[in-house]
Amino acid sequence: MKAVVIYESLWGNTAAVARAIAEGIGPEARAVSTGEATPQALDGADLVVAGAPLLGFRLPTEGMRESTRKEARPPDLSSPSMRSWLAAIPRGHARSAAFETRFRWSPGSAAGAIDKGLQAAGYARLAPPAKFLVQGKYGPLRDGELDRARAWGASLARAMQGVGGA
Ligand SMILES: Cc1cc2nc3c(=O)[nH]c(=O)nc-3n(C[C@H](O)[C@H](O)[C@H](O)COP(=O)(O)O)c2cc1C
């Protein structure tokens, strides 16, 4: 079972969660940025997992990403947005799951938009979207969230066995 975990991450929290999810899925899973996740990288994947931060109550827009240049902590904008990545993905038949990093209290959802985008491209949902929580504006992740991400990855691998994809 080949799995790819794709992330958008401006301050590193979503990237860390993506790596933990890939660890949980197993040795056949790889975490890659939206910049690295070319159509070739997805080729032959049985499971596509994608995640992004919740910024301004939404999956980051190009405008929001641009405005983060003014933040006290410089963002990493070297990879494309998850929005533009989703708009360009080739149609596929892999299973999918979406996640986001965010505060506990916030309204809005990034993972919901990713989930919709993946399904629109033909990637059927394996599991409901997941949320992983940060402590402050730029992180770090709350204690235990990386363990929870690993456990979520392992649960996705088990669900894949259930649908005959392992
Ligand atoms: C400018 C800015 C806006 C944010 N807006 C929200 C928000 O609307 N809701 C929320 O839950 N978290 C919000 N956060 C917290 C981020 O979602 C959180 O830090 C996330 O883990 C960042 O992911 P990254 O490190 O992968 O870029 C915001 C953070 C920043 C810096």
Nearest Cα residue to 52 out of 120, 143, 113: 113
Per DSSP, helices labelled H in the chain are 13-25, 39-42, 62-67, 82-88, 111-120, 145-162
Q: Is 109's C-beta closer than 6 angstroms to any atom of ligand 1?
A: no
CATH number at 73 reads: 3.40.50.360
| Cα–Cα distance, 164 to 161 (Å, whole number) | 5
pTM as predicted:
0.97
pLDDT at 164 over 90: no
What average pLDDT does range 117-129 have in this prediction?
Answer: 97
What average pLDDT does range 1-15 have in this prediction?
Answer: 97
Q: Residue 162 — very low, low, confident or very high, per pLDDT cuts 50/70/90?
A: confident
Instruction: Encode pLDDT of 60-85 as tens digits.
Output: 999 999 999 999 999 999 999 999 99
- The reported pLDDT for the residue numbered 166 is 54
- The reported pLDDT for the residue numbered 158 is 97
| Cα–Cα distance, 103 to 98 (Å, whole number) | 17
Distance from the alpha carbon of residue 64 to the mean position of ligand 1, in angstroms: 11
Q: Is 9's C-beta closer than 6 angstroms to any atom of ligand 1?
A: yes
Instruction: Encode pLDDT of 87-112 as tens digits.
Output: 999 999 999 999 999 999 999 999 99
Q: Is 53's C-beta closer than 6 angstroms to any atom of ligand 1?
A: yes
Nearest Cα residue to 95 out of 35, 162, 150, 41: 162
| Total tally of structural domains belonging to the chain | 1
> What Å distances lie between residue 5 and 97, 105, 133, CA to CA?
9, 26, 18
Distance from the alpha carbon of residue 7 to the mean position of ligand 1, in angstroms: 14
The DSSP code sequence of 42-62 is HTT-SEEEEEEE-BTTBSPPH
Q: Is 39's C-beta closer than 6 angstroms to any atom of ligand 1?
A: no
Atom of ligand 1 nearest to the CA of 134: 21
Query: For residue 136, what are the domain limits?
Result: 3-162
| Cα–Cα distance, 103 to 109 (Å, whole number) | 11
Nearest Cα residue to 25 out of 53, 45, 40: 45
Instruction: Encode pLDDT of 16-61 as tens digits.
Output: 999 999 999 999 999 999 999 999 999 999 999 999 999 999 999 9
